[in-house]
């Protein structure tokens, strides 16, 4: 069994690939997930009880016994367990930290026989057995067995020539009320959401690829959505190239470490 900490869009890409390869998967989440790309994230099961992403279904589990029932039914189990304490109960063969917090929130190399972490904040050989690069560019998806991923730059990846303009950020503290839905086309200057009475404007024209769950509490400057200038609407409902690349690195890590540890 593989336990994945986090069930956002990148974690979902990893889970989808591993499930396709025949692994049993359980994912942990926080009580109110803040995933932006909700249409391609198994974290949405926390709100909707179950969700389908490209033919793979994830179902919300409420307790340990539910996990085994869901997996036996051929689905991915998602459980609200912010600190992943379920690790002690189910003793997974592999633990993957896919929270993408840019820092280690508690993952230990002794959590499982194989421990893999995504992105910066981890050192392979110290915190985990393998780190997978998450920064867009030449090294995206690389499995690292000694050292760390590229440090967080704070600048979003370049898509269609845009970086920081792609990100929809809250203009105030409070509850977010989206005006635009995922998949909607917007023009630069359009109001895409409100926080209290503070409007959030699109910084470029394109397709709304991500938007937080309506009513979520946000803080000023918090990432609340994103706009894709490529205007390919189907991209909103399919796993991204980035997520698939990272998933490939994770799969390599599992197979490589399984073979080397046995020998």
In angstroms, the CA 199 to CA 178 distance is 10
Sheet hosting strand 76-80, strand order edge to edge: 50-53, 56-61, 76-80, 25-29, 2-5, 94-97, 114-118, 130-132, 143-144
3 state SS for the chain: CEEEECCCHHHHHHHHHHHHCCCCEEEEECCCCCCCCHHHCHHHHHHHCEEEECCEEEEEECCHHHHHHHHHCCCEEEEECCCCCHHHHHCCCEEEECCCCCCCCCCCCCCCCEEEEECCCCCECCCECEEECCCCCCCCCCEECCECCCCCCCCCCCECCECHHHEEECCCCEEEEECCCCCCEECCCCEEEEECCEEEECCCCEEEEEECCCCCEECCCCEEEEEECCCCHHHHHCCCHHHHHHHHHHHHHHHHHHHHHHC
What does the radius of gyration of the chain's CA atoms come to, in whole angstroms?
A: 18
Paired with 195 in beta bridges are 176, 198
Instruction: Tell me the fold of 2-152+241-262.
Output: Rossmann fold (3.40.50)
Instruction: Tell me the fold of 164-229.
Output: OB fold (Dihydrolipoamide Acetyltransferase, E2P) (2.40.50)
Residues in the chain: 263
Four-residue CA torsion sign, 241, 148, 43, 185: negative
In angstroms, the CA 17 to CA 14 distance is 5
The residue with greater pLDDT, 163 or 137, is 137
Among 101, 133, 104, 79, CA closest to 34: 101
For residue range 18-40, what is the model confidence (pLDDT) as tens digits?
999 999 999 999 999 999 999 99
Q: Look at residue 263 in the predicted model and tell me its pLDDT.
A: 59
Q: Look at residue 162 in the predicted model and tell me its pLDDT.
A: 72
Percent of the chain with pLDDT over 90: 92
Return the ∠ at Cα 85 (arms to 31 and 248), rounded to 5°: 80
* Whether the Cβ atoms of residue 191 and residue 201 lie closer than 8 Å to each other: yes
For residue range 80-116, what is the model confidence (pLDDT) as tens digits?
999 999 999 999 999 999 999 999 999 999 999 999 9
In angstroms, the CA 22 to CA 163 distance is 36
For residue range 162-219, what is the model confidence (pLDDT) as tens digits?
778 899 999 999 999 999 999 999 999 999 999 998 999 999 999 999 999 999 999 9
Among 100, 137, 91, CA closest to 250: 100
In angstroms, the CA 78 to CA 242 distance is 22
Q: Look at residue 169 in the predicted model and tell me its pLDDT.
A: 95
Query: Model pTM?
Result: 0.94
Domain ranges in the chain? Answer: 2-152+241-262, 164-229
């Amino acid at each position: 069994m593989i336990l994945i900490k986090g069930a956002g869009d990148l974690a979902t890409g990893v889970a989808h690939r591993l499930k396709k390869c025949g692994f049993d998967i359980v994912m942990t989440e926080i009580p109110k997930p803040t995933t932006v790309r909700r249409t391609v994230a198994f974290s949405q099961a926390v709100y909707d009880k179950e969700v389908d992403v490209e033919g793979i279904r994830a179902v919300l589990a409420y307790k340990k016994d539910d996990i085994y029932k869901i997996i036996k039914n051929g689905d991915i189990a998602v459980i609200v367990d912010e600190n992943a304490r379920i690790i002690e109960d189910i003793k997974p063969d592999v633990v993957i930290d896919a929270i993408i917090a840019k820092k280690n929130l508690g993952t230990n190399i002794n959590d499982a026989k194989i421990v893999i972490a995504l992105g910066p904040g981890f050192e392979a050989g110290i915190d985990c057995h393998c780190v997978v690069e998450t920064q867009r560019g030449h090294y995206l998806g690389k499995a690292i067995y000694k050292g760390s991923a590229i440090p967080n730059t704070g600048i979003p990846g370049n898509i269609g020539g845009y970086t920081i303009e792609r990100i929809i950020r809250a203009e105030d503290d409070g509850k977010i009320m989206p005006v635009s839905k995922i998949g909607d086309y917007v023009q630069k200057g359009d109001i895409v959401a409100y926080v209290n009475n503070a409007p959030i404007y699109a910084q470029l024209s394109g397709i709304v690829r991500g938007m937080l769950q309506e009513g979520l509490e946000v803080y000023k400057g918090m990432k609340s959505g994103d706009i894709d200038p490529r205007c390919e609407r189907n991209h909103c409902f399919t796993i991204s190239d980035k997520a698939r690349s990272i998933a490939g690195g994770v799969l390599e890590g599992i197979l490589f470490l399984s073979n080397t540890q046995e020998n």
